[in-house]
Amino acid sequence: MFYTFLCKIYLTFCHVNVIVQVEDILKNSFLSPADFTCFLFFKGGLIMTGLLHVLLFLVVFLLLWFFLQKTLYKNQKPQYDERQTSIRGDAYKAGFYTLILAFSANAVLETALQFTWGTRIGETMVLLCIGLLVFAGVCIFKDSYITDTQSPWLSIALPGLIGILNLGSGIKSLYHNWVYGIQEKFNNITLVTGILLTGIACMIFFRWMTVGRRDGEEE
């Protein structure tokens, strides 16, 4: 399912974020003992936060998955009809072409300006999320994102909850950098993940409310 794919992406970037923090520690090992101790303490907190995010995410995801398998999705397998399957194929193409265009435009601009606005992982995450939002948007607004056997509220609540948690953590990180005057290339993966999941939840909610209101007026 698409949620499983998002989970893999999220855990991958959490893992990479921890690696980035460790590399940053090694690069700054030339500092004085006192400064390096403070720096190590700060980065150590970020690493522990990243590891705790991964652990918390795994626990929440496994609990939700177990609950869904035993209740709502028991003896139910999501199946898409021929129309939905065709639309999802078009959505994959739209997302893929958007991804190519985004990466190409980013490469051309950075080459022309001789400037990179983010770390490699930060830029990659942002561009990936653009393609994923296009794919999800096409599926959602053409009623091919969820099946008739799936609950719209669950499809809204699950990414919405995880997205809001990530948004809060990402905004907190931005605020911390702003308060302490930390200037660095964009690497706020948590914020981007939050925008992605919250955006998907909002699109599902908007589409569900629009279709439900339209059906009510027709009746």
Per residue in 119-143, pLDDT tens?
888 899 999 999 999 999 999 999 9
Identify which of 120, 179, 125, 106 has the alpha carbon closest to the alpha carbon of residue 13.
125
pTM of the model: 0.67
Which tokens sit at 66? 């177990």
Asked if 105 and 99 touch (Cβ cutoff 8 Å), the reply is no
Q: What percent of the chain has pLDDT over 90?
A: 36
In the beta sheet, which residues pair with residue 186? 118
Query: Cα separation of 50 and 57, whole Å?
Result: 11
Q: Which of 62, 42, 56, 44 is nearest to 14 (CA)?
A: 56
| Chain segment 68-79, per-residue pLDDT in tens | 666 655 555 557
Instruction: Say how many domains are in the chain.
Output: 1
pLDDT at 184: 85
d(CA 108, CA 114): 10
Instruction: Give the residue numbers spanning the domain of 181.
Output: 2-218
Task: Output the tens digit of pLDDT for each of the chain's 219 residues.
Answer: 444 444 545 544 554 454 444 444 444 444 444 444 444 444 445 555 555 666 676 677 677 767 766 665 555 555 788 999 999 999 999 999 999 999 999 999 999 999 999 988 889 999 999 999 999 999 999 999 988 777 788 889 988 998 999 999 889 988 888 888 888 889 888 899 999 999 999 999 999 888 865 554 454
Tell me how far the alpha carbon of residue 141 is from its chain's centroid. 20
Can you list the alpha helix ranges (DSSP code H) found in 71-188?
A: 82-113, 120-141, 152-179
Whole-number Cα distances in Å, 7 to 65, 79, 210: 12, 21, 28
pLDDT of residue 62: 74
Element (H, E) at 54: helix 33-70
